[in-house]
Amino acid sequence: MKLKEIYSQGKKPVISYEVFPPKDDADGEKLKNLFEELNKLMVFNPSLISVTYGAGGSNRNESIEIIRRIKQELKIPPMPHFTCVSTSTKNISEYLKTIESFEVKNILALRGDVPKEGNVCHDFKHADELVQYIKSNTDLSVAVAGYPEGHKECESFEKDLFYLKQKTGKGADVIYTQMFFNNEHYFSFVEKCSKIGITQPVIPGILPVSSYNQLLKMADMCKVEIPQKMKTVLEKYQEDKDYTKKYAIEYAAQQCSELLQNGVKGLHFYTLNKAYAVSEILKYL
Ligand code: FAD
């Protein structure tokens, strides 16, 4: 099923998960665990599972294998992420043919982080060019990334929104957001998108954090705000792993609850390949 249909079926909310190909998995144990975790999450009737893509295609084969298994074994539409920076048009074309041969219908089109050094190929500079290429050369439905607090490199928030509109204008059907811990950023972002004529669903990305250090690292990497209360509690109890987990789950569940009350069409969970936190949140909802 294509993204447009998934988000217009009237299913409320549309639940989707993000997973990533495990690293250092020569014996396949981590991949086995990933599918055990995903199986635990099937009870919540997900409509889509997205699979990240390593910068420059570092985990391309692993990513393709997970996509194939999600489709064939779990019978859930997979959505591969794909980054175009440093990738030649030929490679992109081959990748798209491969995923279409598995009857994949959707893709998350990204630029990816520009490598600081190395062999940078300039065939595609930004995600909007990739959206256009995919729409012109395949039958895939395309999603793109959105940043409620602005992308870490953006010249200005308005410029970032302008470029987001370019991505939707070139054919993106859905926007998945970067994680955020303050819903006000999401609500304001959706309002600003609407004001400039972006009509596509903006699906919030939810990350239940697992430790204080992880929170600091992620927030710094993505340049997102950590609300003071959350920071104070998680800093104070950072040695108490059980309490940290419980607090983070309750925090994310309350975020989701407020988002649902405000009519979001779906919730996209950054699972970090684990079922427990997401399951607890979905049970609470
Ligand atoms: P773009 O949309 O190209 O934007 C990048 C920057 O350039 C922004 O500052 C924007 O304002 C600016 N810009 C955009 N278009 C133009 C233009 N035409 N001219 C000039 N400036 C422009 N990374 C991975 O490596 N693998 C993944 O699987 C992955 N999955 C992600 C999933 C989600 C939901 C999100 C939110 C992010 C994900 N990322 C992933 C991270 C993403 O690759 C980085 O944030 C990257 O730096 C930007 O990618 P983009 O597609 O948003 O780029």
How far apart CA 80 and CA 99 sit, in angstroms, is 8
Mean pLDDT calculated for residue range 266-283: 98
Confidence category of residue 66, pLDDT binned at 50, 70, 90: very high
CA of 109 relative to ligand 1 center, distance in Å? 9
What does DSSP assign to residue 122? -
Which pLDDT does position 119 carry in this prediction?
62
- Residues flanking ligand 1, CB < 6 Å: 52-53, 55, 81, 83, 108, 110-113, 126-128, 145, 151, 153-154, 159-160, 163, 166-167, 176, 178, 205
CATH 3.40.50.300 applies to domain 3-284: no
Q: Whole-prediction pTM value?
A: 0.97
CA of 151 relative to ligand 1 center, distance in Å? 7
CA of 146 relative to ligand 1 center, distance in Å? 8
One-letter amino acid at 7 equals: Y
Confidence category of residue 5, pLDDT binned at 50, 70, 90: very high
User: Residue ranges of the domains in the chain?
Assistant: 3-284
Mean pLDDT calculated for residue range 1-18: 94
**Which residue, judged by its Cα, is nearest atom 28 of ligand 1?**
52
Mean pLDDT calculated for residue range 236-252: 97
Residue 274 buriedness (CB in 10 A; 0-12 / 13-18 / 19+): middle
Where is pLDDT greater, at 56 or 184? 184
Do residues 247 and 261 lie in contact, with contact meaning Cβ atoms separated by under 8 Å?
A: no
Choice from 163, 179, 196, 203 to test ligand 1 binding pocket (greatest atom count within 8 A of CB): 163
Dig out the tokens for 101 from the structure: 């041969």
Whether 18 is a known active-site residue: answer: yes
Which pLDDT does position 6 carry in this prediction?
97
Q: Percent of the chain beyond pLDDT 70?
A: 99
Residue 262 is inside which H or E element, if any? none
Residues 6+ apart with CB under 8 A from 84: 92, 109, 110, 111, 112, 123, 124, 127, 129, 130, 133
Q: How many Å separate Cα 149 from the centre of its chain?
A: 15
**Which residue, judged by its Cα, is nearest atom 36 of ligand 1?**
178
CA of 241 relative to ligand 1 center, distance in Å? 33
How far apart CA 285 and CA 54 sit, in angstroms, is 32
Angle in degrees, 0-180, between the axes of helices 127-137 and 89-101, rounded to the nearest 10: 50
